Structure 1
Amino acid sequence: MPDLTLYTNPMSRGRIARWMLEEVGQPYETVIVQFGDETIRGVNPMAKVPTVVHGERTITECAAICAYLADAFPAAGLAPATDDRADYYRWLFFAAGPVEQALTSNSLGWTPTAEQQGMVGFGSYDRVVDTLEQAVADLGDGWLTGDRFTAADLYVGAHLSWGTGFGTLPKRPAFMAFVERVNARPAARRAAEIDDALIAEMKRGA
């Protein structure tokens, strides 16, 4: 039996964790969690997916899952050397913090006032979008942390793919070019095919 288990729903952020697992290339088991199923509290007290269990370790939060798996399986080459991780950590947690907060707040119709912007981690939606655009613009054949694709590219790329696809981010040329690059990766395609097939199966059984 694999010592990696992914608790997920194919219509959730669990797609990011599956993509990361496919990049890592290690065998893993999948447990599908229906929305509202409180039994997952035994694994994650937040009752949220994705959650990854690796042996006796439990990892929650997408960015943490990506960072953990990159470190746990270094042969996959998904993290820079430990002394060269400034950009890696910066963009992983920029996407996990300001990007996530800004997109959610904007979708819920809450825009902080000029005075409130100093209190919230993301400042303003427009500032976050502009900063994200600067990060992925003009990369050429490079990636966010240099010449090699890492978990930071995966996580930022997943946010861009989801955001431009569902209209929470504008379809700026730099965003779309980055999305096309990351989605072309074989692991990204495999992960999407698995989750899309699960969605189709769930619909047939509904």
Structure 2
Amino acid sequence: MGYTLYGPLRSRAFRVLWMLEELGVDYGHVPAGPQSEEVLRVSPIGKVPVLLDGDHVIPDSTAILTYLADKHGQFTAAAGTPERARQDALTFRILDDLESLLWTAAKHSFVLPEEERVPEVKPACRAEYARNLDRLMSEIEGPYLMGETISVPDFILCHCGGWAQNAGFPKGPESFKAYVARLRARPAFVKAAAR
């Protein structure tokens, strides 16, 4: 078996499962949760997802996506090119401007101990998410973020769209709904979601 991915389907591990399906590579999946014995055995930080590639342990969904895309020469612009800089800028922007707001709301909903939660922060997260998503989608011209082909930031943004929907965040403009529907219709997405 080529790769082993740790992390439940309803987590950032889904992004990696989806890319593995898109790549058509051999992999195993251990749907263990964060801080579980299975995960702690391979990664002392205990977070998911974690990818094993032989003796190499790679944590963090974005790092894993980038690693797989670079290794297989798919879903990415070549390193050291202006296109790659643009791709990386989109990736970091999605993480900073959208995912961080989803994660902050999640922490103050169920992740943090109850005495540390500040539920009043959630409406501000939703409002900022909506503004940032509208701004991002107004700049996108192609069917995908980088134009005509799917790339690393698409895996992240599409996943954020599902996360946002489940968390009761704004659905975004019609262009975003169409974008997410287009990505979710991909056979590899459907296969990953059916696991």
Residues 51 and 58, structure 1, Cα contact 8 Å, conserved in 2: yes
The residue number in structure 2 matching 1:18 is 17
Structure 2: which 5+ residue stretches go unaligned?
109-118
The residue number in structure 1 matching 2:105 is 106
Is 1:166 aligned to residue 167 of structure 2? yes
Q: How does 1:1-206 map onto structure 2 within 5 Å?
A: 2-34=1-33, 37-74=36-73, 77-82=74-79, 83=81, 84-107=83-106, 108=108, 109-111=119-121, 126-137=127-138, 139=140, 141-194=142-195
Distance 1:6 1:140 in 2: 33
Distance 2:133 2:173 in 1: 11
TM-score (norm 1): 0.77
Q: CA deviation at 1:166?
A: 3.4
Deviates most, 166-175 or 43-52: 166-175
SS in 2 for 1:26: coil
Q: CA deviation at 1:24?
A: 1.6
Q: CA deviation at 1:152?
A: 1.1
Residues 6 and 51, structure 2, Cα contact 8 Å, conserved in 1: yes
Residues 135 and 144, structure 1, Cα contact 8 Å, conserved in 2: no
Distance 1:171 1:130 in 2: 9
Change (3 A) 1:180 1:95: same
Change (3 A) 1:171 1:4: same
SS in 2 for 1:59: strand
Residues 63 and 96, structure 1, Cα contact 8 Å, conserved in 2: no
Change (3 A) 1:90 1:125: farther
Distance 1:154 1:173 in 2: 19
Q: CA deviation at 1:141?
A: 4.2
The residue number in structure 2 matching 1:117 is none
Residues 6 and 30, structure 1, Cα contact 8 Å, conserved in 2: yes
TM-score (norm 2): 0.80
Structure 1: which 5+ residue stretches go unaligned?
113-122, 195-206
Number of residue pairs matched by the alignment: 181
* Aligned-pair identity (%): 27
Distance 1:36 1:48 in 2: 6
Distance 1:72 1:52 in 2: 13
